[in-house]
Amino acid sequence: MYDLVIRNGKVVDGSGLPAFKADVAVMGNRIVKIGQVPEAAREEINAEGKIVAPGFIDPHTHFDAQLLWDGCAKPALAHGVTTIVPGNCSLSLAPLKAKHRMKLVGMFNQIEEMPLKAFKEGVVWDWETFSEYITRIRKGLAINVAPLVGHSVIRLWVMNEAATERTATDAEIAEMQSVLRECLDAGAAGLSTSYVDMDEKLLPVPSRYADAREVEALASVLGEYGRVLQIVPEFYDSDLTIARLDQLAELSLKYNIPTTFSPLFMNADNVDAVNRVMARVDEQFARGARVWPQVQTRPIDISFSFSVPSLLFMRFPTWYKIMRFGTPDEISAFFSDSENRVKLIAEAAPLQGLWPTLVLRHVETDANQKYVGKTLKEIAELRNTTPVEAMMDLSVEEGLEAHFLSAGMGHNDDAKVAGLLNHPRVHIGASDGGAHILSFSTYGDTGYLFSHFVRDLNLMTVESAVKKITSDTAAIWGIPERGMLKEGMIADIAVFDPSTIARGEEKFVNDVPGDGHRYVRDSHGVDTVIVGGGIAWSEAKGYQDARGEVLPGVREMVAA
């Protein structure tokens, strides 16, 4: 008698090899058989018509705060993600002295847009060390967590205010090394640093005040453990990105560590630049270095409201001028004046293709809620007007707090992005899950990978897409016994329907402590998600077992 059997599905085992028909049997937290399983089980899942794959691993997230009140990292788990890596971009919530808490809350507010109130109402501050933080999040953990420790935070712990004033002394560097060792001993999966991020005052984060000597000293500690170094390079400039990846390559070779940098975007105007970056990545891999670029699957959307000037309008002088110089009342009056409207409409005409596609994503009044999620074309039809006029009318009705979204404005050349996603030396990731929560949804990138690049465009096979976000990720990050469906491996499994899997529509929900909001996307086409042999989420019953662990350490579970 097995604990769990998934029957009749097509197994995509994470190796990249072709899918095959088989049953998968689980005992305790491990896969014990893949093939024909005539024996009964305590729990059975019928996966007819579905794919049975290893659970997905998301290597670039900022779920650090959310894990304090939500051990499922919702909605990541429901999308089939069974392991997340928080603590990216030089920021983690530990180690953290009590006196630095409010500074770090400010930094998380800047990076994640996590409101102050959520920390006040959702968090009991009962940790300082990394080990105490791990103990804290382990309670009720349903998703696996491979946490990075942030360089900025280690720097703050050791140097206090001087962390954003100067380079470190030899003694301070030695202390940072021993703090990093403690974090790695307590379960950190590696170290993150950033050359781009800003703190709560929009000034450089502490890690940017470190010289190369300090980074190398920390990398040498990572070498003792064979753990990962993640960085955010100046991704907007290919020469800078290449200089950073060269630095990473030297550290990787000298200390035998895997390194990864994120993000890397592919836009129409930077194709040559990305090709140069990838050529350098290839050369460094040829030397034996590990310098994994992370590429996200989803395109970049632009959002705006008329309460803040947006460069989207900078080619339309009348629009831009009123956005720049008008008070909210003046803008509303301007939009309501019939003569101005004629001028505005004429000026907007060159982008006739764009306006109908804009989506209304947020309004304040109840009366207009019915339009949220609809395009301006749809709204214009319902209101018997034109898209541009609907945009102005809604803005006036909402006191300028009507928010619009222009989808797929960046990282949007499908063929070229697919070329990157398929590249053997590209790491699929960089979702930023749990960050930017008030601006857009950072969830569902795996659904988008399968719906868009695999199903709709046929630019990737389902086997290679699965491999990229499971066994490749586990191998890059040194996460043992996960990322593949094989007898003896730990049972982290995603069962999904290849004909319907997708990221859901973006929606604004109220599920952040302290009455806070965020943008999310529900999962679509995911049937069941198994973590450590337990059903963590199913479409039928929602969130269930909490068997998440802190990785890469493996704790043996006693079979039920």
Partner 1 sequence: MPVEQLSRVRKSILPQVGDDWSHIASRELPDLSEKDAIASLQSWNLHVYMRAAARMGTGSNNILPSDVIFVEPPLAHG
Partner 2 sequence: MSGAVISRVELAAAHDGDAELNVTLQYENGGQTLVALDEYAVRVLMDSCGASTPDGLIGQGWHHVRDALEAASNRFVNSNSTQQ
Question: Looking at this protein, which amino acid is placed at residue 313?
Answer: F
Contacting residue, 50, 60, 79, 208, with partner 1 by CB under 8 A? 208
Nearest residue (CB) to Zn ion, 23 versus 432: 432
Residue type at position 480: P
Task: State the Cα–Cα distance between residues 218 and 84, nearest whole angstrom.
Answer: 23
Residue 423 binding: pick among partner 2, Zn ion, partner 1, none (C-beta 5-8 Å cut-off by kind) = none
Which secondary-structure segment (H or E) carries 42?
strand 41-46
- Cβ atoms within 10 Å, residue 24: 27
**How many residues appear in the chain?**
560
Nearest approach, Cβ of residue 287 and partner 1 (Å): 4
CB of 188 to partner 2, least distance (A): 26
**Spatial separation of the C-alpha atoms in residues 246 and 228, rounded to whole Å:** 16
- Is there binding between residue 312 and partner 2 (CB under 8 A)? yes
Q: Which of 24, 73, 168, 273 binds partner 2 (CB under 8 A)?
A: 273
Considering the rule CB under 8 A, would residue 357 count as an interface residue with partner 2?
Answer: no
Whether 525 and 447 have beta carbons less than 8 Å apart is answered as yes
**Which of 203, 286, 415, 540 is in the footprint of partner 2 by CB under 8 A?**
203
Residue (161 or 456) nearer to partner 1, CB: 161
Q: Token pair of 357, please?
A: 């596609």
Please pick, from the candidates 22, 89, 219, 535, the single residue that binds Zn ion as defined by CB under 5 A.
Answer: 89
The residues in 519-538 that bind partner 1, with binding defined as CB under 8 A, are none
Report if residue 309 touches partner 2, rule: CB under 8 A. yes
Closest distance between Zn ion and the C-beta of residue 205, in Å? 11
Under the binding rule (CB under 8 A), the answer on residue 201 touching partner 2 is yes
Q: Which residues pair with 122 in a beta bridge?
A: none
**Sheet architecture: strand order including 427-428:** 148-150, 190-194, 228-232, 259-261, 291-295, 427-428
Q: Which segment (149-157, 301-309, 338-346, 363-371) binds partner 2 by CB under 8 A?
A: 301-309
Q: Nearest-CA neighbor of 193 among 169, 172, 174, 176?
A: 176
- Scanning 312-320, 339-347, 414-422, 493-501 for contacts with partner 2 by CB under 8 A, the matching segment is 312-320
C-alpha torsion 458→464→465→471, nearest 10: 180
Among the candidate windows 409-417, 446-454, 483-491, 499-507, which touches partner 2 by CB under 8 A? 409-417
Give strand pairing partners of 200. none
Which one of 162-170, 377-385, 391-399, 401-409 is the stretch in contact with partner 1 (CB under 8 A)?
A: 162-170
Angle, nearest 10°, between helix axes 151-159 and 212-225? 110
Give the containing element (helix H, strand E) for 382. Answer: helix 376-383
CB atoms within 10 A of CB 388: 24
- The item of partner 1, Zn ion, partner 2, none sharing an interface with residue 263, based on CB under 5 to 8 Å by kind, is partner 2
Q: Which two tokens stand for residue 219?
A: 């990398």
Say which entry of partner 1, Zn ion, partner 2, none residue 89 contacts (CB below 5 to 8 A, set by partner kind): Zn ion
Size of the site for partner 2 (CB under 8 A): 38
Draw the binding track, 502-541, toward partner 2 (x: CB under 8 A; -: no contact): ----------------------------------------
Cβ atoms of 131 and 96 within 8 Å: the answer is no
Q: Which stretch binds partner 2 (CB under 8 A): 15-23, 106-114, 336-344, 385-393?
A: 106-114
CA geometry: angle at 256 spanning 255 and 261, to 5°? 95
CB-based contacts of 428: which residues, under 8 Å, 6+ apart? Answer: 294, 295, 296, 297, 421, 449, 468, 469, 472, 473
Instruction: Pick one of partner 2, partner 1, Zn ion, none as the site partner of residue 269 (Cβ within 5 to 8 A by kind).
Output: partner 2
Map the footprint of partner 1 across residues 233-292, applying CB under 8 A: 234, 237, 239-240, 242-244, 246, 272, 276, 279-280, 283-284, 286-287
* Beta-sheet strands, E only, within 458-555: 493-496, 502-512, 516-524, 526-531, 534-538, 542-543
The interface partner of residue 88, options being partner 1, partner 2, Zn ion, none and the CB cut-off 5 to 8 Å by kind, is Zn ion
Torsion sign across C-alpha atoms 370, 372, 378, 384: positive
According to the binding rule CB under 8 A, does residue 326 interact with partner 2? Answer: no
CA contacts within 13 A on the Cβ side of 18? 2
CB 432 within 8 A of CB 109: no
Q: Which of 66, 82, 88, 375 binds Zn ion (CB under 5 A)?
A: 88
Q: Note whether 305 binds partner 2 by CB under 8 A.
A: no
Instruction: Give the interface with partner 2 as residue ranges (CB under 8 A).
Output: 106, 109-110, 115-116, 200-203, 235-237, 239, 263, 265, 267, 269-270, 273, 300-304, 309-312, 314-315, 317, 324, 409-411, 436, 439-440
Instruction: Give the interface with partner 1 as residue ranges (CB under 8 A).
Output: 164-167, 195, 198, 201, 203-204, 207-212, 215, 234, 237, 239-240, 242-244, 246, 272, 276, 279-280, 283-284, 286-287
